[in-house]
Chains A and B, each alone.
Chain A
Amino acid sequence: MAGGLRSGGSARWLFTREESARILPQTAIVVSREGVVTADAGTTVDSWAARYGGLTWNPVAPAATNRPAWSAAGGPGGQPMITGDGVDNVIEAAITKGSQWDQYELGAVLSRVAPNVTDAWLLFHFAGSFVAGIRDQPGNLWHMTSSTTTAIGTSNPTGAWAHWNGSMMAAEVSARRGATLEAQNLSGASGLVSDGITGALFGRISGGQYGNVSMVAAHVGVKLTPAQRLYLNALLFAKTGVVSA
């Protein structure tokens, strides 16, 4: 398969940047241990560059008040974590290098800070140019709203760390770990998002909805094969210590 996953019991994954780019050529992965630039005397995150996977994605805060909080040792195992305040924190950037997807997969290793807040789970937001079939519907959004809080709360109470992920395409919305994924504007069977699309973490690019969550990793890209997902989960475990379901 593309990317060259090693097979069988002889696999020796190193989880290097080069290896991850080879195996996950159309995925961008951010981890809180790397790629972070802080501001405001080390209290906030100005940018968080994807260091793994083959896609380029370097989300930054558009203004000072949009910067998520930085904690150098507040995450699981004393690792750094980044927290969106659910008010106006957001980081965003164009996703490049062939992000022409008609199926895509998103996820984050996170814990929620405050439950039962409307749209308190917003994780990703896409905005940009869309291809035929959904051209007239300018936004696609993956989030978990208050209406899904019960399901989330059952398996991931406040403060618990877990890897949430799911895949979406025109005719499919699948989720893992009990999360409910909501897909907007996924009508039609043609391609979904075009190259250079902007992806945001913690909030909606144009405002109005934000997530009050802490993250130690996140990923965005084309829908993964089972083998690729296995590698991604192993990489996230290596980088965050959180086991994927």
Chain B
Amino acid sequence: MIGHVYPTRRAALDAVEVIDAALGPTEELRDEDTGQVRVVPRKPWAIPVPLRTGAFLVPWRNERLVAIAGRVVDVKGVPKVVPSLASAVVIAPGDVEPAAVALEPEPQI
């Protein structure tokens, strides 16, 4: 998993907010049954992923971020910079905090 790591959930959510601002307020969804395209409010880019270290990851995910990386956007009147791919890190699956596992014991075969 590639992305950017932030020390707190709040910081990660702030980063998501910057990405969302850069991507724009709306997006298009297409009904594959009818072909109809609807313009809807854009979903949040990501839900921050908790890591075992206590930090939070914002996944980079796909090519769309390449187009906006490094761009300065206005977030509530404050200029913010979209992180670049160069500063992204690779997170191994084992580094992700298995929050649900803490509540659910590992299954027995």
Residues of A near any B CB (own CB < 8 A) = 34-43, 46, 61-66, 70, 72, 80, 87-88, 117-118, 125, 127, 137-139, 141, 143, 145, 147-148, 180, 182-185, 204-209
Contact = CB atoms under 8 A, between A and B. Distances in A.
| Interface size classification for chain B | 20 to 34
A62 to B, nearest CB: 6
Contacts of B47: 62-63, 65-66, 207
B14 interface: no
A182 B109 contact: yes
B104 A141 contact: yes
A208 B101 contact: yes
Nearest to A118: B93
A206 B99 contact: yes
Contacts of B107: 141, 143, 145, 182-184
Contact of A40 (B59, B64, B104): B64
Given A138-B103, A182-B107, A204-B100, A87 B43 contact: no
Contacts of B101: 208-209
Contacts, number: 105
A234 to B, nearest CB: 22
A88 B29 contact: no
Contacts of A65: 45-47, 59, 61-62
Interface in B45-81: 45-47, 49-50, 59, 61-62, 64
A193 to B, nearest CB: 14
Contact of A184 (B1, B28, B50, B105): B105
Contacts of A127: 100
B96 A63 contact: no
Contacts of B29: 37-39, 46
B46 A38 contact: no
A139 B64 contact: no
Given A63-B45, A87-B1, A207 B32 contact: no
29 contacts: A34-B33, A40-B27, A41-B28, A46-B43, A62-B43, A63-B43, A63-B44, A63-B45, A64-B42, A64-B44, A65-B47, A65-B61, A66-B47, A118-B93, A137-B104, A139-B103, A148-B109, A183-B107, A184-B107, A204-B100, A206-B99, A207-B47, A207-B49, A207-B97, A207-B98, A207-B100, A208-B97, A209-B98, A209-B101
A64 B60 CA distance: 11
B104 A207 contact: no
Given A37-B31, A39-B29, 11 more contacts: A36-B32, A37-B32, A39-B43, A41-B28, A64-B42, A72-B32, A118-B93, A145-B109, A147-B109, A180-B109, A208-B98
B103 A40 contact: no
